[in-house]
C-alpha cells in the first residue's frame, strides 16, 4: 500500500497529463482548421490585434528598457574580470535579440494577455454567451479563438522587434552615460556583431510564444468551470501553462537553431 500509492499517484498524473495534451491538440487542430473555412471575422481579428499587440506595447517596452540597461551593467561587471569590457554592446544586442527580448516579451504578454483572454472567454462561458453564439449560427472557435490566435501569432513578433530595439537602446543609454562608452563606438559594435539570423530566430520565437499565449488563454477560457472560482482557476491555469510552455518552447527552439 505504502509503495503502491505513490506509484498509483504517479500513474494517474501521467495519464491525466497525456489526456490534457490530447485535449489541447484537438482544440488546436479545431481552431486552426477554421483558418481555411469561411466565414471569417476581420473585425474581431483587428480588435484582437489592438488588444494583444498595441496595448501590450508599454509593458513590453518598459520590460525591455530595464532589461537592456541591467544587462549592460552585468556584462560590464563580468567582462571587466577578463578585460573584456568592450564586448558589452555586442553581447547586449545578441542577448536581447536572441533570448531576452522574445522570452521576457513572451512572458509579459502571457501575464497580460493569456489572463485577460481566459477571464473574458471563461466569463462568456459561465454566463451562457458561448451557447448564445452557437444558437446565433456563429461558431465560437471561429469567432473567438481563431482571431485571437492569429492576432497573437502576428503581433508578438512585432512586439519582440520593438522590445529588442528598446532593450538595445537601454543598454546604449547605460553604456554611454554610466560605463563611459563612446556613443559612436557603442553603436558600431552593436551593429557589426549582430547577424540577420539572430534577429530572425528571435522573431520566430516571438511568433511561437504569441501562438502559445493565445492558445492557452482560449483553451482554459473555453474549458472554464462554472462560477467565479471556475473563471479564477481558468485564468491562473492559462498564465501558468503559457509561461511554462514558453520556457519549454524557448529551449526547444534554441536547441533547433543551435543545431541548424
Partner 1 sequence: MIVLQDVHKSFGSKKVLQGINLEVPKGQSLVVIGGSGTGKSVLLKCVLGLVKQDQGTITVGGDILEPKTREAFLEKFGMLFQGGALFDSLPVWQNVAFRLLRGSLKRPKDEAKAIAIEKLRRVGLTAETADLFPAELSGGMQKRVSLARAICADPEVIFFDEPTTGLDPIMSGVINELIREIVTEMGATAITITHDMTSVRAIADQVAMLHDGKIRWIGPVGDIDTSGDAHLDQFIHGRADGPIEAVR
Per CB under 8 A, residues contacting partner 1 are 39, 41, 123-124, 127-129, 131-132, 134-138
- Quick check: 41 and 144 in contact, CB under 8 A? no
> Residue 170 is placed in which grid cell?
537601454
Calpha distance 189→179 (Å, rounded): 15
Calpha distance 199→176 (Å, rounded): 24
Q: Of 14 and 132, which CB lies nearer to partner 1 in the complex structure? A: 132
> Residue 22 is placed in which grid cell?
490530447
Q: Of 53 and 167, which CB lies nearer to partner 1 in the complex structure? A: 53
Residue 17: CB minimum distance to partner 1, A: 22
Residue 137: CB minimum distance to partner 1, A: 5
Residue 133: CB minimum distance to partner 1, A: 8
Calpha distance 260→201 (Å, rounded): 11
Q: Of 129 and 165, which CB lies nearer to partner 1 in the complex structure? A: 129
Q: Of 74 and 129, which CB lies nearer to partner 1 in the complex structure? A: 129
CA 117 to chain centre: 13
User: Counting every residue, how long is the chain?
Assistant: 260
Residue 130: CB minimum distance to partner 1, A: 9
Amino acid at each position: 500500500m505504502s509503495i503502491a500509492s505513490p506509484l498509483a499517484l504517479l500513474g494517474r498524473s501521467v495519464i491525466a497529463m497525456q489526456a490534457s495534451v490530447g485535449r489541447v491538440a484537438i482544440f488546436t487542430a479545431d481552431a486552426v482548421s477554421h483558418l481555411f473555412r469561411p466565414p471569417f471575422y476581420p473585425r474581431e481579428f483587428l480588435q484582437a490585434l489592438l488588444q494583444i499587440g498595441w496595448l501590450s506595447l508599454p509593458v513590453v517596452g518598459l520590460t525591455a528598457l530595464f532589461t537592456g540597461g541591467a544587462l549592460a551593467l552585468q556584462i560590464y561587471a563580468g567582462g571587466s574580470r577578463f578585460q573584456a569590457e568592450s564586448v558589452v554592446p555586442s553581447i547586449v544586442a545578441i542577448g536581447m535579440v536572441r533570448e531576452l527580448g522574445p522570452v521576457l516579451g513572451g512572458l509579459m504578454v502571457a501575464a497580460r494577455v493569456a489572463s485577460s483572454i481566459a477571464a473574458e472567454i471563461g466569463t462568456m462561458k459561465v454566463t451562457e454567451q458561448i451557447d448564445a453564439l452557437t444558437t446565433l449560427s456563429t461558431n465560437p472557435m471561429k469567432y473567438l479563438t481563431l482571431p485571437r490566435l492569429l492576432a497573437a501569432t502576428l503581433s508578438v513578433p512585432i512586439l519582440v522587434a520593438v522590445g529588442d530595439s528598446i532593450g538595445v537602446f537601454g543598454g546604449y543609454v547605460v553604456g554611454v552615460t554610466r560605463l563611459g562608452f563612446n556613443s559612436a563606438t557603442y553603436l558600431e559594435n552593436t551593429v557589426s556583431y549582430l547577424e540577420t539570423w539572430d534577429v530572425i530566430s528571435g522573431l520566430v520565437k516571438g511568433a511561437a510564444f504569441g501562438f502559445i499565449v493565445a492558445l492557452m488563454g482560449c483553451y482554459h477560457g473555453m474549458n472554464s468551470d462554472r462560477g467565479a472560482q471556475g473563471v479564477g482557476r481558468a485564468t491562473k491555469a492559462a498564465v501558468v501553462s503559457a509561461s511554462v510552455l514558453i520556457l519549454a518552447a524557448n529551449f526547444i527552439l534554441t536547441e533547433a537553431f543551435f543545431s541548424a
